[in-house]
Chains A and B, each alone.
Chain A
Amino acid sequence: MLKYIGQRFLQFLLIIFIANSLTFLLPRIIPGDPIQEALTAKAATAGRANVDIQAWAATYNAKFGLDQPLWRQYINYWFDMFRLDFGYSLNDYPATVMSKIQAAIPWTLGFMSVAILLAFIVGSALGALLAWPNSPGWIQGMVPILMIISAIPFYLFGLALIWIFGVKWRLLPTGGAYDPTLILRWDWKTTANILQHAILPATALVLFGVGSWALSMRATMITILGEDYITFAQSKGLPDRDIFLRYGVRNALLPQVTGLAISFGLILGSGVLIESIFTYPGIGSLIYGAINSKDYFVINGTVAIMVLCAASALLIVDILYPLIDPRIRYDK
């Protein structure tokens, strides 16, 4: 068991290593160093902060400048990576990249995890029901609808939702996480406001998510219902509901939950589009803004954090999976 954890942890490190090395190499393959130019431009235009920025530009050049051999740049890069030091934001200097990320993460995590969880629960329940041959006809008729919903990327839903509920009917706010005029406090008013702003983006996400979770659960359930132990359970005279839950769903949940965990791993990345459309101040918006203002440090830092998050999630899945699947736990 320890060997298993050890193996997975090594894999985790390997993933981080390769992914971050790619992050280092890829931009440098492209000719021209926009960071250099951006820094120089900034140094030239900044007013009072001129001295600080110049100091910063100098530090940057010392570490990553063109006169440094690539391998030394690489080592410096990793030193920074360990300390999670992604430098300063080009746009919001003197804010550090890390501070911006830290401000944005809670929003993304909070709203996305609720949406994903909701979509998973509703979708899986629906999917399981769809696979059961004895469920009523109207449920079966939902399959094509779900197929269509799952095929359409969710940000398209988002735009439509904003228009219907935000513009045409003016029921819900069209963007942001909370009212700009609101002062954030731990009270009911703030919470209500946040929830109100979260409804539309969450709906778009959940709609799409339900479709794909339902279809995948249905497929898994159909395979499981074809297994011998279902026939044997029926021959024992077990009632339908028992078989459906304890023999069917219980087995189908295993691969589904793995999928859920991976979803959570990619949670930071998936939010990019939905947040940009709804101007929700999470990681996604951060990267969106950074793209438009060419804030390379923020982009780099965000991507690194995304990779870290995804790799960690995979590691956690691998470690926790034996807890739910006894076949792996008790392997001699």
Chain B
Amino acid sequence: MPSLHDEAEAAVGPRLSQLVTTDAVRVGASAADWRAAVRVAGDALVASGATTPAYTDEMIATVEQLGPYIVIAPGIALAHSRPSPAVVRAGISLVTLSRPVEFGHPRNDPVHLVVGLAAVDEEAHVMALSTLAEFLADAGRRQALIAALDPADVVRLVRAFERGQADEARPPARDGKESVERT
């Protein structure tokens, strides 16, 4: 099986689990429209200490300017803007919506998961975002994320996934013996 860790290992910056703290997660949020949904993701970035509220407006302005291309996959929006004084540090927030909202994307609507991304430069968020893309590439993990009951659940899913990746990247402990799974 090809290793998926090459890029992640070459990348710099904090791990996904360092950014996705319970403060940065909202589960089952209600949002009347895409602006409200992006606002929840922005509020979570603010709560986690990554941004000031001005960044939330910048994320909304980005969609207004460039369109709904931020809906990167069926049901998933990656809300972000560019580095700005409103970004304190790299941050990622995760928001699941109680009711999906339309962003106006021709194929990937409606959205039930909004990811908020704050970047200070082109580098610091790379490892965490790579990990998130790997996480979301699997339908089972997407389901588990959507089904999470509270922010602590989401944080646990992210940590478990990261641990799994780290274990996979490590060479086997001994010949012919599988490494013991850590709990």
B and A form one assembly: no
